[in-house]
Amino acid sequence: MVKNAWLLGVALLAACSGRKNGAAELQGVIELHERQLGFDVQGRLAQLHVQRGQRVEAGQLLAALDDALQRPVRDARAQDAEAAQAQLDLLRSGTREEDVLATEAQLRGARASESTANEQLQRARRLRQTGVVAQAQLDDAEAQAARARSERESLEQRLLAQKNGARASELRQAKARADSARAALAAEEARLGRSVLRAPVSGVVLDTTAETGEVLAAGAPAVILGETRRPYLDVFVAQQDVAGVRVGAPASVRTDATREGFRGMVSDVARATEFTPRYLFSPRERANLVVRVRIDVEDPAEQLHAGLPAFARIDRTAQPAEARR
């Protein structure tokens, strides 16, 4: 409330004393567009890669959730997709005797690996019942057993196809299995991708709102990012002067801290007026009715800082940018 009252006061003072060539110089304060960034899924925050005040680029990794349970599933899907594609390629290319011998050797190894994985799984289940091992270890043993079983089944199918040859229907089925395996892998990779948080735009970290180890709900903000290349300022135009102000109108912006000026554009004109002070309604005070106008500023070099006083002139005679397109 104090900030708005101060802005309204200086805006009216500037409007009365800063006119040049019919264009009033309006004062405001540079602000940054803020983005509250969070994960699409619930999870435990495993890593926070940024801190308050840090500069980040678009696409930079900001934070990550614990993916210890998801990653083995993704790896299993990748193996399934690779095996299904290999089976399809084999059916398409035909079989040589040495390929059959190689597959038989691989199958023997896969069966031995599956037997070992099943033994480890049974042991993990017994130990889990007594509380000796954690649930995560049991989950890992189950995933390893599933991968071993999938590998053995894939090799059995490959060996059968190598010995019998492929028919058109088998090719179609193999292609369908390969397509399905690729789709399952893509879905799992997309699910895994939702456990990482990246910067959508370049900017500066204004704040971090979560700690490592904290369980975050889906959509809960973890990082607040300010867009440093696209700041804005809100100015207040007297009611009698607002008629010529339109969205898309160009504006020039200057500050005392920088030598050169900046180009801007009106991005919003409030639909409601404001009073200064709000409780006075007399005809004498009615002249103090103002309208809030937002100006987006082009600052590719990132020279402007939030909180910096700035001065703007709106070109009321130029055609708005939307109309020029």
| pLDDT tens profile 216-260 | 999 999 999 999 988 999 998 888 888 889 999 999 999 988 878
CB 8 within 8 A of CB 237: no
Query: CA-to-CA distance for 300 and 63, rounded, in angstroms?
Result: 26
Query: CA-to-CA distance for 111 and 14, rounded, in angstroms?
Result: 84
Residue 5 clears pLDDT 60, i.e. is over it: no
> Hey, is 279 helix, strand or coil?
coil
Query: CA-to-CA distance for 230 and 203, rounded, in angstroms?
Result: 9
Considering the segment(s) 2-58+205-324 as one domain, its CATH architecture is Beta Barrel (2.40)
Question: Angle between the 135-164 and 70-93 helix axes, to the nearest 10 degrees?
Answer: 0
Could you tell me where in the chain the CATH 2.40.30.170 domains are found? Answer: 2-58+205-324
Question: Angle between the 97-129 and 135-164 helix axes, to the nearest 10 degrees?
Answer: 160
- Tell me whether the omega of the peptide bond preceding residue 277 falls within 30 degrees of 0, making it cis: yes
What are the tens digits of pLDDT across the range 259-293?
A: 789 999 999 999 887 765 444 444 554 557 888 99
Residue 68 clears pLDDT 80, i.e. is over it: yes
What are the tens digits of pLDDT across the range 90-125?
A: 777 765 667 778 888 999 999 999 999 999 999 989
The one-character DSSP state at 47 is E
Instruction: Write the DSSP assignment of 202-248 as a string of letters.
Output: SEEEEEE---TT-EE-TT-EEEEEEEEEEEEEEEEEEGGGGGG--TT
What are the tens digits of pLDDT across the range 151-181?
A: 999 999 888 877 776 566 777 888 899 999 9
Other residues' Cβ atoms within 10 Å of the Cβ of residue 172: 10
Residue 274: what pLDDT? 77
HSE-CB for 106 with a 13 A CA cutoff: 17
Dig out the tokens for 144 from the structure.
């390893």
Query: CA-to-CA distance for 162 and 182, rounded, in angstroms?
Result: 23
* Better-scored residue on pLDDT, 151 or 70: 151
- The pTM for the full model equals 0.56
Torsion, CA 100, CA 101, CA 104, CA 105, rounded to 10: -140
Secondary structure element (H or E) that encloses residue 306, with its range: none
Residue 1 clears pLDDT 80, i.e. is over it: no
